[in-house]
Amino acid sequence: MEIKDVRFSYSPDVSLIEHFSLSVKPGQRVAIVGPTGCGKTTLINLLMRFYDVDSGEIMVDGNDIMNLTRSSLRKNYGMVLQETWLKKGTVADNIRMGKPGATDDEVIAAAKAAHAHSFIKRLPQGYGTKIAEEGGNLSQGQRQLLCIARVMLALPPMLILDEATSSIDTRTEAKIQEAFYAMMEGRTSFVVAHRLSTIRDADVIIVMRDGHIVEQGNHAELLARDGFYAQLYNSQFAP
């Protein structure tokens, strides 16, 4: 993926993303960090074409995404967001949304890869358990593991992950992180990071503040620069 001199703002008189360029090699992991409300989601929305850039280009496999249909572009991405989305139906139906023709064995393999199989087996009807509207009969952690299993089944070439797990117990959070790492293996990934400890090994870290990209580099480079990223990191790990 190539992002070339991209500019975007919601309002003509308020500048936001300006002169943003980034080259992402296949399989690289890109982390997007910054305080709440700084614009991390805006960047994701541009990648997915929920909004179009004001100027510049975002290229996927040499194609300007403005020349692709939104549906064909989004087939390249698997998304796991903080807000999970489940439909009425069985657990298996919800996982199978990632690949409608998948066999039962494929569904189970995806659930195992997402560390979801063990809790699914404990449900009243296992994979045949009916899910209430928006997954109301499951915990937040269980809903997120099902969404990860759905992406594991489809295994698209690129991933967008919001690794917010603030209201999930530590054991489930560890399972979600393991599932994320397995899923990212060999795939280009964009991770909206909340806990900076989880993205120290990212290939590129994009640091945002007040809607602007203020720093860009890897963990060691950004700490050495002793700028805004170093402030954020040290504030999370202060003794």
Closest alpha carbon to 91 in 61, 122, 70? 122
Residue 138 CB burial class (10 angstroms; 0-12, 13-18, ≥19): buried
* pLDDT over 80 at 164, yes or no: no
Which pLDDT does position 195 carry in this prediction?
Answer: 80
Which pLDDT does position 190 carry in this prediction?
Answer: 94
* pLDDT over 80 at 48, yes or no: yes
Residue 40 pLDDT class (50, 70, 90 cuts): confident
The residue among 77 and 134 whose pLDDT is bigger is 77
Do the strands 2-8 and 63-64 form a parallel or antiparallel pair, or are they unpaired? Answer: unpaired
| Cα 101 from Cα 68, distance rounded (Å) | 25
| Cα 75 from Cα 68, distance rounded (Å) | 11
CB atoms within 10 A of CB 115: 20
pTM of the predicted model as reported, rounded to 2 decimal places: 0.85
* Residues 187-200 pLDDT 10s: 999 999 888 888 88
| Cα 202 from Cα 173, distance rounded (Å) | 19
Closest alpha carbon to 189 in 203, 177, 176? 203
Q: Are 22 and 30 in contact (CB under 8 A)?
A: yes
Dihedral of CA 232/234/236/238: which sign?
A: negative
Residue 239 pLDDT class (50, 70, 90 cuts): low
Give the residue-averaged pLDDT of 21-32: 93
pLDDT, averaged across the chain? 89
Which pLDDT does position 41 carry in this prediction?
Answer: 85
